[in-house]
Chain A
């Protein structure tokens, strides 16, 4: 099992959970397992073509999956998958 870290903006779609355990051989499968358990997250993670949305960054442990093998990147037991959208809060 891997641990998926859910950013604040997606937590309403996971019942408020900030971490969700999900199984899969690679990053894509882990995220599919997440969306199977919490279907409302799907539209925000994946486009209609099944690819990750460009505005969503996904890290395996501390490395951006874009510089690894994308959704094909192999996931080991105990790995952490971090979902990271941009945030702009600050001044107002």
Chain B
């Protein structure tokens, strides 16, 4: 291919030659296009240095002027110009890839593509995709993730808000309550106009206004032994913000059977707890709490009060855990219980271990035959007098 007028001395290589060199290693690969082009598709390990910023950014992308440096752009023109500029800067082993990424792709060579993301999505999630821990791949994982929120109230509201903003593709909401004025001090996805509306519907309206990418599934009812496996079947991760112990134990036992992780938090007054229960990888809820407390030790927020912002703090911590699980990034709270004391503004971390004698996930826990998967103990009886009614 002809080089632009006035540039005679740069080395041009064909895409297959570039691919061989890249395969061999020790190559600095520089993408000389604009950020939006780069986001759409780029070569793996290609470092973005837009033409207008070459002078400012090339030293960071390619610190060694004697290293083999291959430049590419869309069709080969901008990279040829940039190659000449680099030579003038003292880079002595520079090549421009002829035909650019278009020729590369025509030859069937692989690119890192934002496939599945529209231009609007690339813009909306650009602060995510800039993060190495998320990137385009991570954002696509979020867009494909299916997360079930147990409760669209205190904890569920902030969790739903941030998961929806983050582009979690499917958010299921389980709640049988309607919006009440006394909810609005902390349940930030509902509002005054929607008092009296089912919480799942109010949440759906909020989420759809925030982010049309999210598919909201309303489960307007309560989870019980008869429906929990069917409801959970469609989701990857469950977020537990339930307000009663029978539901928490039911959810635990079902999640262990289905091997689905649960991000579990609770709040009361100025105190919060959060942990992530990943079946068989770490402890389950019963390993931590084998027995529910009696009623006098299990007060509810409705009877004892809760600082509104506590719901936000713990709910957003839940959202953070969910996003890490989806991305496979960082260290989730598996085997750790985090306590937050809002009055002292202190966090305390406690170790939680798998209980070998756990009746659900322990070594000697009985195998559940397929025919009995949907059969659960009587949790109301198990938790009798333990906050079993709201």
Residues of A that sit less than 8 Å from B by CB? 5, 7-10, 18, 44, 54-57, 59, 62-64, 67, 82, 84-92
Known contacts A62-B350, A63-B351, A64-B351; A8 and B270 CB within 8 A of each other: yes
**Bound Cα distance A10, B304 (Å):** 13
The yes or no answer to B292 lying at the interface (CB within 8 A) is yes
Known: A64-B352, A91-B242. 6 other contacts (CB 8 A): A9-B296, A44-B297, A62-B350, A88-B244, A88-B266, A90-B265
B298 in complex: contacting residue of A10, A62, A67, A88, CB < 8 Å: A88
The answer on a CB contact under 8 Å between B155 and A88 is: no
Q: Are A55 and B297 in contact (CB under 8 A)?
A: yes
Closest B residue, CB atoms, query A43: B296
Q: Is there an interface contact between A55 and B291, defined as CB atoms closer than 8 Å?
A: yes
Nearest CB of A to B294, in Å: 7
Query: Within 8 Å CB of A9, what residues of B?
Result: 268, 296-299
A5, A84, A90: the one contacting B153 at CB < 8 Å is A90
Which chain B residues in 248-270 approach chain A with CB under 8 Å? 248, 265-270
State which of B21-29, B112-120, B225-233, B341-349 sits at the interface with chain A. B341-349
Whether A88 contacts B302 by the Cβ 8 Å rule is no
B271 touches A62 (CB 8 A): no
Q: Which of B290, B300, B344 contacts A89 (CB 8 A)?
A: B300
CA distance A35 to B30 in the complex (A): 69
Would you give the 0/1 interface string for B140-169, flagging 1 where the beta carbon is closer than 8 Å to chain A? 000000000011111110000000000000
Q: How far is the CA of A55 from the CA of B152 in the complex (A)?
A: 27
Q: Is the CB–CB distance between B154 and A88 below 8 Å?
A: no
B349 and A87: CB pair below 8 A?
no
Structural contact, B349 and A18, CB atoms closer than 8 A = no
Given B243, B266, B296, which contacts A44 in the complex, CB threshold below 8 Å?
A: B296
Cross-chain contact B297 with A85 (CB below 8 angstroms): yes
**Nearest CB on A from B162, distance (A):** 16
CB of B289 within 8 A of CB of A55, answer yes
Q: How far is the CB of B315 from chain A (nearest CB, A)?
A: 9
Interface status of B38 (Cβ within 8 A of chain A) = no
Question: Is B153 within 8 A of A92, CB to CB?
Answer: yes
Pull 24 A–B residue pairs with CB atoms less than 8 Å apart, ordered by A: A5-B348, A8-B269, A8-B270, A9-B296, A9-B298, A10-B297, A44-B296, A57-B288, A59-B350, A62-B351, A63-B350, A67-B353, A84-B337, A84-B350, A85-B297, A87-B266, A87-B267, A88-B242, A88-B245, A89-B299, A91-B152, A91-B241, A92-B151, A92-B153
Complex CA–CA separation, A7 to B364 (angstroms): 32
* Of A64, A84, A88, the contact of B353 (CB 8 Å cutoff): A64
Cβ of A63: which chain B residues have Cβ within 8 Å of it? 350-351
Residues A90 and B242 in contact in the complex (CB < 8 Å), given A55-B297, A57-B289, A82-B350: yes
Asked if B325 CB lies within 8 Å of chain A CBs, one says: no
Q: How far is the CA of A67 from the CA of B243 in the complex (A)?
A: 29
Give the contacting residue for A55; candidates B242, B294, B302; CB below 8 A.
B294
With both beta carbons as reference points, the residue of chain A lying nearest to B247 in the complex is identified as A88
Q: Which residue of A lies closest to B266 (CB)?
A: A87
Whole-angstrom CA separation of A85 from B299 in the bound complex: 11
Contact yes or no, B306 A89, CB < 8 A: yes
